[in-house]
Amino acid sequence: MVEYAQTLNYVSAIGTAIMEEMRRDERVVAWGQDLVSMRGTFGDAPGMIDEFGGDRIIDTPIIEQAIAQMAVGAALAGSRPIAYIATAGFLSVCFDTLFMKMGAMRQEFSYKGPMPLVIFCRAGVGGGFGADHCTSTEALFMHTPGLKIVMPSTPYDAKGLMKAAIRDDDPVLFIASGPLYFGTKQFVPVEDYIIPLGQADIKREGTDITIVAWSGMIPKALNAAEILSKDNINAEVVDLRTIVPMDIEAVVKSAKKTGRLLIAHDAMKRGGAAAEIAMKINEVAPDVVANLKTPIRRLAAKNLGLPRNRELEAELVPQIPDVIQIVKEMV
Amino acid sequence: MNMDIPKETLLMLYRNLLTARRIDEKHYEIYSAGGSGMPWLHRGIGQEAVSIAICANLKKDDYFKPCFRMRFCLFAKGLSIKDIIASEIVRDIIKDGGNSFYLNPEYGILGFSGSGGEDAGFYVGAALSAKMRKTDQITVYVNGDGFSNRGSVHEAIVAAVALNLPVVFMIENNQYAMGTRSQNSYKMDDLSDRAKGYGMPGESVDGNDILAIYEVVKKHVKRARSGGGPSLIVAETYRLRGHFEGDPQIYRPKGEVEEWWKKDPLPRYQKKLMDMGLLTDADINRIEAEVKNEINEAAEAALAIPRPSYEDHVKTVIGDL
Ligand SMILES: Cc1ncc(C[n+]2csc(CCOP(=O)(O)OP(=O)(O)O)c2C)c(N)n1
Ligand SMILES: [Mg+2]
């Protein structure tokens, strides 16, 4: 076995998880565009393409619909495929397969068996690459019942969650954060570990306000929290990590403690995940909501298509100052 | 064959081919300098002959979608070079009084889908509309060898065949889709064989020979315009640069790029015109100076245009923000 560094960036942590799972279980396979020919998709998980490229990691033409559809068929046939669709925007070109088939087909046909597949893509702004390449589309796929949605914010979480996604018997949509790919490296254990899907993580303890977020919004919330602490505002940052299934208990617990709840995401506001979370906490813990010191609020991207323009992008999608401002309004 | 083409057309093709080359180089110059706002650059150098030859066969209001990396060639269909460069460097050309570049039905541009191939149906729909409106507009819809595989493209072709629409489909085979060799997707010697399966005629042409493309496109455009229905042209060419600027290109066999530089369509056509006695060294220098001057002026003006403001952008919102 090849030795690899324990300090990994986000994308290499994902690649390492996939590599380890491929070694562990020969049913695990991956396909998509240019995985082998360009090598970079899974970061620099050493030896991964040499070991599996062309055999269990396969390049396809530009055929997103088939890339996703083949994952359904292969999963039902006994493989555990990882299907790579470059961006969460491109998911919309295979919408039927994700929404109606991965999300609902087994219920429609009363099929109780497994459908173990992972759709792997990325989302997030930063480059000015426009709507198709950067839009966060998780809310679309939250609405379909049978699809789990994983959106990690750190290399450590990304590795543990990818492993859980691969071992899960349900279809999982793994939306990585593009802007975090080559961000802060983190110590990532060599040994096998799993982060169960549906467990939130407190990324920062606090007493005055709960900020619920995930993926690329987490570093922004943490940065804002640090700055706010200088004004004696102590924010707790809850990283949902998976938005389906959702760890609403963790949100309730934190909101009960701090008495204030802000939900923040990179995706657009209208029909976004924040609306679902706010309503859900209202349903499961009306007493906690009734005792909040201030109404629940959300911070999200403007309801506008992303322009091919780096500067405008930053105006549309919440940034650190936006988090600080809304927290100050609430506290 | 070439003798049938009027001298003015031959020289217009030369000037446009040269202009396309210099715009691509200008984009590279601006991109390399940094700070322009251009998010990334997918160069089209070496493939210009295809789009330039197409434009020479189209009217202003015909629908034409070039390969995404070749969209700068649309100056040859009447768009201003300044508007094109300004769009690529993310400037507010509308406020500046310019013409929208990426989406401009007046010029037959119906948007460049960032998810490649997803726009095929738009251009076929425009051809359907033209037929219903009883105009003589046609569509030329081009994709690379990569996006031509998309499901949306197949459905659009099926629609055009079933409804007998005036569409010329083209595959601009530059041998690569990102790092994937086109052979790995097609498994056939002549890509135009695909046409048979759809029930339309198909033909391949040397995409680095501008006159050859011009003639083939002319034939197919004429056929479409006169109600003959859709057809397919495959132009064989080569992507001389990486998929994007900065691409390490680990997938390229050694020496391949050098071989294709020898087939560069620009010097090839220049030599042909000289052999035909239509171009002298003095002409070449004069045209070069004129083109350079035109592009420098356009680029300078483009760089001076401000970025679109947030206030202007939010005007497009439906409902609340
Ligand atoms: C639906 C979709 N899938 C993938 C991509 C990413 N992508 C951008 S360009 C490209 C290659 C296109 O190849 P080709 O059509 O041959 O055009 P070329 O780059 O050679 O000009 C890919 C895969 C995309 N933009 N849209
Ligand atoms: Mg290509």
Q: How close is the Cα of B178 to the center of ligand 1, in Å?
A: 6
Judge if A70 and A173 occupy the same domain: yes
Judge if A157 and A234 occupy the same domain: no
- The tally of domains found in chain B comes to 1
Alpha-carbon gap, residue B161 to B194, rounded angstroms: 13
Alpha-carbon gap, residue A236 to A225, rounded angstroms: 8
Smallest CA–CA distance, residue B121 to chain A, in Å, is 13
- Confirm whether A193 is domain-assigned: no
Judge if A144 and A215 occupy the same domain: no
Contact check, Cβ <8 Å, A93/B317: no
Sign of dihedral through CA atoms A138, A34, A194, A114?
Answer: positive
Judge if A152 and A207 occupy the same domain: no
- Of A236, A243, A287, A280, give the one whose Cα is nearest residue A262: A236
Is the pLDDT reported for residue B279 higher than 70?
Answer: yes
The length of chain A in residues reads: 331
- Confirm whether B91 is domain-assigned: yes
Last residue of a domain, one of A180, A211, A243: A180
Judge if A281 and A171 occupy the same domain: no
Least confident of A185-194, A197-206, B229-238, B248-257: A185-194
- Confirm whether B29 is domain-assigned: yes
- Confirm whether A245 is domain-assigned: yes
Is the pLDDT reported for residue B1 higher than 60?
Answer: no
CATH classification of the domain holding B222: 3.40.50.970
Each residue's pLDDT tens digit, B123-147: 999 999 999 999 999 999 999 999 9
- Confirm whether B320 is domain-assigned: no
DSSP letter (8 states) at residue B31: H
- Confirm whether B221 is domain-assigned: yes
Judge if A55 and A21 occupy the same domain: yes
Judge if A76 and A169 occupy the same domain: yes
Extract the tokens encoding A72: 């359904």
Judge if A162 and A250 occupy the same domain: no
- The tally of domains found in chain A comes to 2
Judge if A159 and A278 occupy the same domain: no
Judge if A173 and A307 occupy the same domain: no
Which pTM value belongs to this model?
0.91
Ligand 1 pocket residue status of B239, Cβ below 6 Å: yes
Alpha-carbon gap, residue B303 to B301, rounded angstroms: 6
Smallest CA–CA distance, residue A199 to chain B, in Å, is 32
CATH classification of the domain holding A215: 3.40.50.920
Contacts of residue A129 in chain B, CB cutoff 8 Å? 39-40, 114
Which structural domain range is residue A241 located in?
201-330
- Confirm whether B321 is domain-assigned: no
Which structural domain range is residue B111 located in?
7-314
Check: CB of residue A53 under 8 Å from CB of residue A36: yes
Interface A-B, measured as beta-carbon pairs within 8 A, has a size of 104
Question: Which ligand sits nearest to residue B47's alpha carbon?
Answer: 1
- Confirm whether B2 is domain-assigned: no
Q: In terms of pLDDT, which residue wins out, A166 or B35?
A: A166
- Confirm whether B202 is domain-assigned: yes
- Confirm whether A310 is domain-assigned: yes
Number of other CB atoms surrounding residue B251 within 10 Å? 19
- Confirm whether B97 is domain-assigned: yes
Q: What is the pLDDT along chain A (331 residues), one digit of tens a residue?
A: 444 558 999 999 999 999 999 999 999 999 999 999 999 899 988 789 999 999 999 999 999 999 999 999 999 999 999 999 999 999 999 999 999 999 999 999 989 899 999 999 999 998 899 999 999 999 999 999 999 999 999 999 999 999 999 999 999 999 999 999 999 999 999 889 999 999 999 999 999 999 999 999 999 999 999 999 999 999 999 999 999 999 999 999 999 999 999 999 999 999 999 999 999 999 999 999 999 999 999 999 999 999 888 889 999 999 999 999 999 999 9
Contact check, Cβ <8 Å, B40/A129: yes
Alpha-carbon gap, residue A168 to A162, rounded angstroms: 10
- Confirm whether A28 is domain-assigned: yes
